[in-house]
Amino acid sequence: MAVYDLDLQELPLFAGLKAAEVDQFIQATGAAKVKRYGKDTRILKTYEHNDKIGIIAEGKALVIAEDRFGNESVGHRLGRGALSGSTTAILPSYVNPTAIDAVTDVLVLWVPYMALIVAGPKLGRIHGIVMRNLLVAFCRKNVMMVQKLELLSQKTLRERLILYLLQKSAGREDKRVKVPGRVQLAKELECNRSALTREIGLMKEKGLLTCGGDWMELDEEKLKEER
């Protein structure tokens, strides 16, 4: 699928560039096409060889981690502008145990990594801006990994849910957090769905939590009293 009408200049990787400069980058790196993936299809497989950095232009996806026994667990969610495949593209000898699954229909712009590296002389300032944005994206990914480790280190399911909501609302005036369905939320918290539903009910009864169809909000004052 050709690249058009996707407003790629709005994506974090191209922050600071004009639409014409993004087009110039795409032509210089050979990333002139995007690929469409249908809902519930696998964008990248575990242990798959990959030499391109994928940028999600539309849609949502999930990072799925696989252990040595073949058991899968949900990592973090990916939305418009998120990167995929960057680790295996940059470190070809790395055997990656994670996969990317499409939650909705997804459009991915694939940028050949080696073409990105050697395009510097042709692109000048544009190349510098993209590489800066790439470093910022890697730093944010590290923050997400640290948050996930912190989340899974909590001793109780209630502590996990509270920390999850606090992480999602950090730095925002609106403390109402948009959440996925119970099945997906249970996967992200790595817990049993029934146990999660029961815990949500108990927290609502105590006034610690307010829920809507696709959102949750903590009462932080009552949380302080609880502690």
Q: Are residues 30 and 19 in the same domain?
A: yes
**H-run or E-run covering 209:** strand 209-211
- Tell me: pLDDT of 69 over 70: no
SS3 145: helix
More confident residue, 217 or 97: 217
Q: Are residues 28 and 132 in the same domain?
A: yes
- Residue 180: DSSP 8-state: -
**Do residues 209 and 219 make contact, with C-beta atoms less than 8 angstroms apart?**
yes
* Distance (Å, whole) CA 67 – CA 168: 26
Q: Is residue 115 part of a domain?
A: yes
Q: Are residues 23 and 131 in the same domain?
A: yes
* Distance (Å, whole) CA 87 – CA 199: 36
- Tell me: pLDDT of 1 over 70: no
Q: Is residue 3 part of a domain?
A: no
Average pLDDT over residues 89-99: 90
Average pLDDT over residues 131-139: 95
* Distance (Å, whole) CA 25 – CA 22: 5
Reported as a pLDDT band with limits 50, 70 and 90, residue 110 is very high
Q: Are residues 114 and 206 in the same domain?
A: no
Q: Are residues 174 and 136 in the same domain?
A: no
Q: Are residues 96 and 189 in the same domain?
A: no
Domain of 144 in residue numbering reads as 8-151
**Do residues 193 and 183 make contact, with C-beta atoms less than 8 angstroms apart?**
yes
**pTM score of the predicted model:** 0.74
**Residue 184: burial class (beta carbons within 10 Å; 0-12, 13-18, 19+):** middle
